[in-house]
Each structure stands twice: as C-alpha cells, then as structure tokens.
Chain A
Amino acid sequence: MERTRNYYVDLRLPRDATPEEIRHAYKEAARRFHPDVNPQPGSSDLFIDIQEAYETLSNPQRRAGYDAVLGLDGKAEPAISLNTVYSRSKIPYLEDSQLFYILLELTPTQAPEQRNNTPLNLAFVLDRSTSMQGAKMDMVKANAIRMLRQMKPDDTISVVAFSDQAEVLVSAVHSPDLSRTEARISLLQPRGSTELLHGLECGLNEVRRHLNPKNINHLILLTDGHTYGDEEACYQLAREAADQGIGISGLGLGDKWNDEFLDKLASISGGSSMYISAPKDLHRYMEEKFSNLVKIFAENLTLEFEYDENVELRYAFRLAPEAGPLPIESPMRMGRVLSTKALNIIFEFLIKYAPGQGKEVSLAKGRLTMEIPSQLVPIERFNINFSRPIGGNPSYEPPNPAILQAMSWLSLYRMQEKARQEVIDGDITKATRHLQYMATHLLSKGEKELAHTVLVEAEHIQKSKQYSNEGDKRIKYGTRGLLLPPGMENENL
C-alpha cells in the first residue's frame, strides 16, 4: 500500500458507513477543522485531509476502489461478538409493572496472538496536596517512575502533579529523557490543597497532544482527598474527554477521598474507580490498571439507545472488567473490552405494561459504537435491538442461570447502596437492618471477612448514626469485587 492514510480514521467512520453518515461525519469534521474557525496551526492540513477523505468515500466507485486498496473486501467477521442473554425467553402478559433483565456480553472474536500491541497515550495525574505527605507520596513517586520505565517506544506517558495548581512534570513525548524525568518526579514535595480541576485539565491536554483512535487514550487520576466546589466543572471536562475518546480511571488512596465523586467522574467516560486502603497496596493496583490498559481490545464503547414509553431502564451495571455501576443515560459509556476478558453488562428494565398476546415488546433500540485500535478501520458499530415476545399467561419459567448468578451478588451491592442512602437520610434503623441482611447473605456465600466488616459497620452506625471513615468504602468496593462472574480472577480485591 503506497499510502498510510486511512480515510475512515480521518472521518471517524465505521467501514460500513452509509452515504448519509459519511456526509454527516464530513460536515461535523469540516466544521471543526475549517481554517476559518480553527486558527490552530495544522488545522488547514487536516481540513485538506478531510476533504480528500470525503471526496473518495462519498463516491461509491472511488470508495469501492479505495476499499480494495485497503484490503477491505466484502463482509469480514466483526472483531467483537455480541451476545444478548434475556432473563426469560418471553415477557409474561401483565397489565402490572414487572422487571426484566438483560445480560450483554461482548467478546473479541480473534485469538489473542492475532491482536497487536496498541500504543498507550497515557497521562498520570497525581495529587500532591499536603495530606499526601509521607508514605503515600513516596509510594506514588516510586510507582510513577516504575510506570515510566515500563513504557514502550511507541507509548507516550505524561505525569502531572496538582494541588491548588497543576504542574506538568513529564510532558507527553515519545521516549523522554528518563534520568531527568525521574529526578523531577523524585524531587516532588507535597504542598497545597486538593483542587482537582486544574490537574484534570492539564492531564487531558497532555493526552490530547497525541490523540488518535489508533492509541489507547487514557488518564489515571490519583487522589487522597475531596475537591471542593469544582465537581461540576470536572464532570464537564470528563464529558468532553469522553467525546474525544479519552478514558478516565480514578484511584482513591486512603479513607478520606470522595468515592461518589471519583466514581461518577470515571463512569462518565466508561472508566471506574478503585479503592486503595493502604499506600503499600498502590503498586498492585497500578500494575493491574496498567496491565488492563495494555490489554484493551476495544474502547470507548458507547450505547445510544431509546426505549418505548412503556419501558424504563432502572439500573445498569458492568460486571466485568472493572465492576461498577453505569450511568442511566443515552449515550451510555460502557467501558472497554479486554483482549483476555469479555465485557459483561447487566440491565434491569421496568416494563410498565405488556400489551396484547403475541406482540413484541421492544425494551431498547439503538446503536453501539466502539473503537478497536488494532483494526484497519477502528470504528465498529452494531445495531442493538433488545426485544422479546409477550408469551401466554405469566406461567413459571425459570430465569436464566447466568443472570440469576450475577443478580445474587448485584442485589447485595444494591443493598449496600440502599443502606448508604438511608444513613444519609438519617434512617438508621433501616440502614442497620439492610446491612445485617447483607451480612447474612455474605456469610451464606462464604464471604466471612466482608460479612464481618459489614456487621461491625452496622454496629458502628447504630451507635454513631454514621459510617466510619473507611467502612462505607470497604463495603462498597468489597462487594464490587465479588461481582466478577465465575472463572474470572478476582481483580478488585
């Protein structure tokens, strides 16, 4: 092939894009990169590229010729297979509301050795506020240096430290001068308060310098405290980042960070947060995060969907990899598929009314798009249509075992969420009862240690009307760690 240009990448299009989509993508891109509106150097070159891409792809004959040059002939097997599991094969005919579950499984179809190593474009944003003083800071520095040493020639890694202001310690370049950057990191002194916004912004800008759908574009945020007043602005940044295909992961160190905030921030881009109780564990979590990033096969999975007026999505949860709740919104960022591990998501739908016999209920309809960096045309797209026929009387049909299994753990996670809300609402009796029920089930499942934590916490709540410093996080992340489907190694514990 004489040229490395990829028109599909230029316009961010899937290989089976319709003429309508091509026109739409071109208009979008043209608006962004037109030299009249975008004064940044290089944008006019980009604009010419877009122009060229559009001229080729919009003409069916030229497109066919180009596809042949690229080696895209006919219908190839999609690189990801999609499997939908329904809790029951039919929806019972009921005038009342009822619940229905769907488990979505996405698995790479290629053997692991056929997937090449995708370059990383990573920013490591770390908290250097005064509360990090001591062991935490030392561990963070050691891990940042270790991460730099692990990078491959194609990777770019930047390191940003923030307190009330942000500073780029290592800027995003290929093969940086290791000894100098290591010295800069090790000289880092804790100071100031935690203000996440600056750090996040600075880190994202570093990632953006090498933004490319052929890379894994990601930001790891490490903090040990609360940020005050700039949460909304942070969410906004995360949304913009998600739109550009940058994922965000959160690492919370110690007991005082705001897990609700970090969880939400990460989930906006389909990422997740982790709880690291002791600084000495940081290494293990960083290694895990890093190895997961290297194993990313498809990323930026986005589900755009709509549902019938009789249907409502009540809950969505990613079981693997990196268990965590997903925001109930369209587009929904679902996270990533690892080359070694399927992406499993469970949905709970509320069907308010199942109309007549023999009809179909459409639970949700939409489109799932993703980027698969290793593919020639990285954008892949699936049409989603969750629907089931309405069947007979509500006679008893056993639910799908995989869904039942997943829900047996997820129901405990949700009980924990409930108890947490009840403590906030001041309903201590209810919260204690829910925690006791939870402990009971954990015990019967053989999770003695976590059950004990839960019981101790229930007593603490009864006495002091609130969670202990670490109790709520330990229970939340502990329960989350149990959610991985059988056969998967326990990663989050």
Chain B
Amino acid sequence: MHIMEGYLPWQWCIFWYLVMAPFVIYGIYLLNKQVKEHRETLSLLAVSGAFIFLLSSLKMPSPVVGSCSHPTGTGLSTVLFGPFITCVLSAIVLVFQALFMAHGGITTLGANDFSMGIAGPLLGYLVYRVAKKVNLNIFVNIFLVAFVADLFTYVITAIELAAAFPATHGGFLISFETFFAIYAVTQVPLAIVEGLLIALVFKYIVQSRGDILVKLKVLTPEQVTKIMEGFK
C-alpha cells in the first residue's frame, strides 16, 4: 500500500496531507489524554504500536497471486484504542519506513497514512462496533476487524492511485481495476493471516491483562472470566 516518494502529483500530496491532518491532530490529543489519565494502559499501547511495526515489516508472498505484500497490523490498536490513535501510530511507522528504507515517502505520507492509518482502521472500528452490538464471538469479531482494516487499506490505495492517474480511455474505473488487481487481490490471503494472528494475540492479552481490557471497555469482567474458563 506504500505509494513511493514522488509517485503522486504534488496537488494530490497536499490534498491527502490536508485530509490526514485533522485525524492526526485529534489522534495526538486522544493519545496524550490516554497516557495521562490511564497510565496503566500504556503497556498495551506500546504492544499495539509494536504490532504495527512488526507486521508492516513482513513482506509475505501472496500464495495464489504470485506477488508479495505486507500486512498492516493496525487491527489490534483499532480495537483497543480506536481509529484516531491508530492513525498516529501508523504515521510513526510510515515515517520510519520512508526515511530509512525509501519505502513509501514523505510527500506521499498523507495518502499512505489515510489508507493505512485512517480509512482501514475506521472501517475496522465500524465492524467492531456492529459485531459487538449483535454479540458476535469476540475472537471472530477481532479477526474480522483486522481482516477488514488490512484489506480496505489496499482498496483505498487503489482508489487514491486511480484518482491521481485516471486512464486516458475509460478514466477512473479502468485504472481502479488495474490498481485493485495489483493491491487488493494480493492482499486477501495476507489479511486472513493477519486476522488469525491478531485474534490469537488477543487471547494472550485476555489471559494476562484482562483487567486493562475491562478498563478500555473492550470486555466486561464477566466476559473476561468466561473467556479464561473457555480456554482451560
């Protein structure tokens, strides 16, 4: 999903920076509030950020398609801390990769953070709330959130590129098809792996720090006890 340095016309770079700005500013505000008022959640915040770091560095082959891509790892922090804080964490990772690996770019940071840090997690969060309302099993819920956040990130990248580079014949839709085939199709198996991994990790978090999940209002104390019992 990384759009490389210089691969977006400057007008689009500015546009996506303007779109990203309010999310990041509000995210930083929430992040500060979280750290000040709920210090005990800091360790899980670090773990969530670390998952974005870890998963977005793994370039995996997409077995069916024959190309490689990487997961985004944003699912965990979306569930625990919401999409706004996730967009700040993603921006940190994207800057790191842009500066040291020439992967992504500073000019394209707005577009990349919009897809990975904002649009993906926002849709994932929506899925999370709806699934919670209908009392879906929490692990299935987490799987879906991570799967959706990952896959939708790549759909958005395809939309961003199709908007910036509409085909001369057929325009936006034709070039969306091209970019969708490159990005989103490759991503499906990786999004499944990511979803399963995040759901598994969530089990470990429940087992070790269920109390923080209760504080973050992800689970009720009864649910924590029930899950612990279920894995005995």
Asked if A and B are interacting partners, one says no
Q: Chain A residues in contact with chain B, CB under 8 A?
A: none
Q: Chain B residues in contact with chain A, CB under 8 A?
A: none
